[in-house]
Chain A
């Protein structure tokens, strides 16, 4: 082995020379010194985020608008209910027995003092009012 030592050493020197030459071989410079471009990505993310926020804003605006409309409709419902109660009061007043009696009297009608019924054979069942002296007791 010692006889081959100078040959091995020389081989190693030649190998190192050749590999260093290979390692130092120049390669083509594609970017000419520039960094990779991230602007497009940032713009894309911004646009997507912006659109999303706009949609969110739109939805919230619509919700708020509907909430206002709901409140307005509820108020309108209350007003309608109040109006209905006011009309019901007027109807009660007009349809009350005293109002009906007054209207009937104004038309010249008189309340019936004695009930009269027609029998099935169309004859009226009528009786005279008999005036008698009242006895005490």
Chain B
């Protein structure tokens, strides 16, 4: 009795605190409350990326008495191979993964099947299947699949953004995990014992400026032309020139972010901001805009255009042999004459030409914020050789991204004001409060008058006499420029292959949207007008319809393209004037 009393005092009094803390440690557990990542949606809230509940199926291997039998039962229900399940069930671990991130419905199905199977046995029967448990988590899902994969990117195995916006905006999108404590009963949490220590906070959702329907049309169009021309890649960008908002950002080839196990690193890139190329003839708009702004020429300035022109040690040619012509500046742009562009470029000093290139954004990032954006390549004037200036004048000798090229034309469409592009419309916090993005930065590059003259000249490109009549949209005034540039091959450091492009906007007299189409290394027919024009027309037609942009109804007064047309027009005007004076 005495010893019993001593022992009682020892346990209840002296060691009470110790036993109490041991009991708490064994019974009380702390668990992480996983927070879901924010959604990435289109402008209308359609999800491009979202976090959905998933249930991983885990096993306590020590409770599995017959792994082969249990695997044979479980595998067909959860859609796995029997041998894979058996391998997961076999061992002495208290926790092992059987099926990671299964759909919740899969666990429910398995759970119901196990309950039904176990109901035929007594409570402690060794025949019962026990030891399988669910663990809820969140998994990232991309409902649109391949549609906008190069822009959105994907998350890796640990739920961290690996590429695209998922990566560059990871710190914004990811949630903050919480914690809660609970009392641990026999194989389960004791109901009512849960106590939230730190609440989980959902990540911020991102609303893009992209319109899913326009994105789909653009994706399909560029995928079709890349396939038909056996090109390396292609991009389509649709931009609102006034706001810089990007309505579509389509690339081909692309990948499915829902399954990245077999996707190459090349396919995961975003070529619109990562890949640089020499723009070719689309760069001529910068040369002509600079010359008009500096009052060196007007759209009706007549120039003598030979087929070939020698400068320094090199002879430059136009695309097709032709006799020496007398073309207006508008005509030079319409037929995309290299020799004409060289002559116009020579009216500006190298420094002035360089200045306008940088003002149009060449050699600097656009400010889109897209991850990995390249600033392009623009050699400093001090590094220009005798052939650099002529080359630069017709769009070679410097490199830019498709995004920069789109921004150049958006500047002309926006009355000479360059607005930095963006794909982010706004963000919503975990409470659902929406905050629109700040207005984009803008800078005036050329005057509104110069921009208007450029737009008028560019309408000729889409006319029957231009290089891209395939881009014309009946009823609308459309303006643009084709480009067929020689392409640098990194393997040899030489020109090999072409970059075909068409960039334009509509309605030309009141531009609502700019669309750029760029196709890298097409095989066979490689002309910008041939490949890019139809893609532009298809996408722009859809955009104008879906956005309800009606034709302006104005008539274009085409600028004469040749000296002959110019003289004829002037004679007509003079005759009309004389006739009206006579009448009066």
Q: Which of the segments A7-15, A22-30, A35-43, A91-99 contacts the partner chain? A: A91-99
Residue of A nearest to B546 (CB): A115
Contact yes or no, A78 B136, CB < 8 A: yes
Contact of A114 among B136, B475, B553 (CB under 8 A): B475
| A136 and B484 within 8 A (CB) | yes
Check A134 against B474 for contact (C-beta < 8 Å).
no
Interface string of B457-500 (1 = CB under 8 A from A): 00000001111111011111000001010000000000000000
Q: Could you tell me if B216 and A82 are in contact, using CB atoms closer than 8 angstroms? A: no
Let me know if A136 and B467 touch, CB within 8 A: yes
In chain B, positions 536-577 with a C-beta closer than 8 Å to chain A are 538, 541-542, 544-545, 550-551, 553
Decide yes or no whether B379 CB sits under 8 A from chain A: no
What is the bound-complex CA distance between A81 and B136, given in angstroms? 13
A116 with B191, Cβ < 8 A, contacts A82-B53, A134-B469 known: no
Q: A136-B319, A136-B467 are in contact. Are A130 and B472 (CB under 8 A)?
A: yes
How far does the Cβ of B474 sit from chain A's closest Cβ, in whole Å? 3
Q: Which residues of chain A are within 8 angstroms of B191 by Cβ–Cβ distance? A: 64, 67-68, 70-71
* B-chain residues with CB within 8 Å of residue A125 when the two chains form the complex: 475, 550-551, 553
If the complex has contacts A81-B53, A132-B469, are A63 and B192 also in contact, measured as CB distance less than 8 A? yes
Contact A92-B104, Cβ < 8 Å, known A112-B545, A114-B474, A129-B474: no
Q: What are the residues of chain B within 8 A of A81 when measuring CB–CB?
A: 53
Report yes or no: A114 in contact with B320, Cβ–Cβ below 8 A: no
Given contacts A82-B53, A92-B47, contact A136 B527 (CB under 8 A): yes
CB pair A115–B469 under 8 Å, yes or no, is no
Residues of B within 8 A of A32 (CB): none
CA A82 – CA B105 in complex, angstroms?
A: 8
A34 CB–B CB distance under 8 Å: no
Interchain CB contact under 8 A, B527 and A67: no
Given known A116-B475, A128-B474, A137-B482, contact A78–B53 (CB-CB < 8 A) = yes
Residue of B136, B281, B545 most packed against chain A (CB within 10 A): B545
Closest Cβ–Cβ distance, residue B217 to chain A (whole Å): 8
CB of A48 closer than 8 Å to a CB of B: no
Query: In the complex, which residues of chain A have a beta carbon less than 8 angstroms from the beta carbon of B469?
Result: 130, 132, 134-135
CB distance from A72 to the nearest CB of B (A): 8
Whether a CB of chain B sits under 8 angstroms from the CB of A127 is yes
Contact B541 A114 (CB under 8 A): yes
Residues of chain A from 84 to 125 with CB closer than 8 A to chain B in the complex: 85-86, 89, 92-93, 96-98, 111-117, 119, 125
Q: Do A137 and B336 touch (CB < 8 A)?
A: yes
Given A89-B143, A129-B474, A135–B192 Cβ distance below 8 Å? Answer: no
Say whether B474 contacts A97, CB under 8 Å.
no
Distance, CA A111 to CA B546, complexed state (A): 12
Q: Which residues of A contact B472 (CB under 8 A)?
A: 130
Cβ of B27 within 8 Å of any chain A Cβ, yes or no, is no
Q: Does B522 contact A (CB under 8 A)?
A: no
Given contacts A64-B192, A115-B544, A115-B545, contact A135 B335 (CB under 8 A): yes
Interchain nearest-CB distance for B322 vs A (Å): 12
In the docked arrangement, what's the CA distance between A114 and B476, Å?
Answer: 10
User: Shortest beta-carbon distance, B535 to chain A, in Å?
Assistant: 13
Interface centre among A93, A113, A126, A137 (most CB of B within 10 A): A137
The verdict on A16 contacting chain B, using a C-beta distance below 8 Å, is: no
Is A79 on the interface with B (CB-CB < 8 A)?
Answer: yes
Q: Cβ of B269 < 8 Å from any Cβ of A?
A: no
Query: Nearest Cβ distance between residue A88 and chain B, in whole angstroms?
Result: 8
Q: Can you name the residue of chain A whose Cβ is closest to the Cβ of B465?
A: A135
On whether the beta carbons of B104 and A126 are closer than 8 Å, the reply is no
For A68, give the chain B residue with the smallest CB separation: B191
Give B219's nearest chain A residue, CB to CB. Answer: A97
Q: Which residues of A contact B136 (CB under 8 A)?
A: 78
CB distance from B531 to the nearest CB of A (A): 10
Does B115 reach chain A (CB closer than 8 Å)?
A: no
By beta carbon, the residue of chain B nearest A71 is B191
B192, A137: Cβ atoms closer than 8 Å: no
Could you tell me the distance between the alpha carbons of A126 and B474 in the complex, rounded to whole angstroms? 7
Residue B196, interface by CB 8 Å: no
Q: Which residues of B contact A (CB under 8 A)?
A: 46-47, 52-53, 103-105, 108, 136, 141, 143-144, 191-193, 212-213, 216-217, 281, 319-320, 335-336, 464-470, 472-476, 482, 484, 527-530, 533, 538, 541-542, 544-545, 550-551, 553
User: Taking beta carbons and an 8 Å cutoff, which residues of A are in contact with B?
Assistant: 63-64, 66-68, 70-71, 78-79, 81-82, 85-86, 89, 92-93, 96-98, 111-117, 119, 125-130, 132, 134-137
Q: Name the 6 nearest CB pairs between A and B, nearest first.
A: A67-B192, A127-B474, A137-B467, A137-B336, A97-B216, A71-B191
27 contacts between A and B (CB under 8 A): A66-B192, A67-B191, A67-B192, A70-B191, A85-B53, A86-B103, A92-B47, A97-B216, A112-B541, A113-B538, A113-B541, A114-B474, A115-B475, A115-B544, A117-B551, A130-B464, A135-B467, A136-B467, A136-B484, A136-B529, A136-B530, A137-B281, A137-B335, A137-B336, A137-B482, A137-B528, A137-B529
